[in-house]
Amino acid sequence: MRWMLVASTLIYALPIIVYVILFRKASILFEVIMGAFSFLFYGPTYLNILNIYSICRIDDISWGTKGLEGGSDKNAGLKDSWKLIKYVHVGKYVLWNIIASAVLLSLGSDYIPRFFVTITMVIIMAITLSVKIIIAIIYMISYKLSSCKCCERDKFV
């Protein structure tokens, strides 16, 4: 775990050190350190509140419609079902965050159980992300093949 912390610190520190050496501007270090403090304090806002807000506003497409959405209520049932789906996803997100926080806080200050719970959660997230990436790659390949002109049949015959 200690080496992961060192590696993640070096990932961010190495470009800054190279920048300071190449351009001889040490003032960038002060800016990075002050930015790191603000990132540390605003981190919970970035990770939780803005994620919930983005999930809640995922179906807002008013920025690109130029007034085309007025008057038509033929898709009211579809809008209501999307609203229900959105509430379910936000509820699941909040519930899983509460459960994870409660589990980690209930373990107390013991390092070993917290380590195994954290590793388990990281493994679950990695598997989930891997499945999403594989499905996305399959979808992109199938989309590319379906829109490829060499794969289309002759429409004039």
- Does the pTM of the predicted model rise above 0.85? no
Name the token pair of 87.
Answer: 């509430």
pLDDT of residue 45: 75
Most confident of 62-66, 67-71, 111-115: 111-115
At 63 the pLDDT is 60
Q: Tell me what pLDDT residue 4 has.
A: 74
Residue 55, number of CB atoms within 10 A of its CB: 16
Give the confidence band of 75 by pLDDT, cuts at 50, 70, 90.
low
* Whole-number Å distance between alpha carbons of 9 and 14: 8
Tell whether the model's pLDDT for residue 19 goes beyond 70: yes
The residue count of the chain comes to: 157
Computed over every residue of the chain, the mean pLDDT equals 77
Confidence tier at 157 by pLDDT (50, 70, 90): very low
Residue with the two structure tokens 């190449």: 22
Query: Which pLDDT tens digit goes with each residue over 94-110?
Result: 898 888 888 878 877 77
Around Cβ 13, how many Cβ atoms within 10 Å? 13
Write the CB contacts of 20 (distance below 8 Å, at least 6 apart in sequence).
Answer: 26, 28, 29
Residue 47: name the closest of 14, 104, 94, 105 by CA: 94
User: Sign of dihedral through CA atoms 43, 45, 46, 52?
Assistant: positive
Q: Report CA 141 to chain centroid distance, whole Å.
A: 23
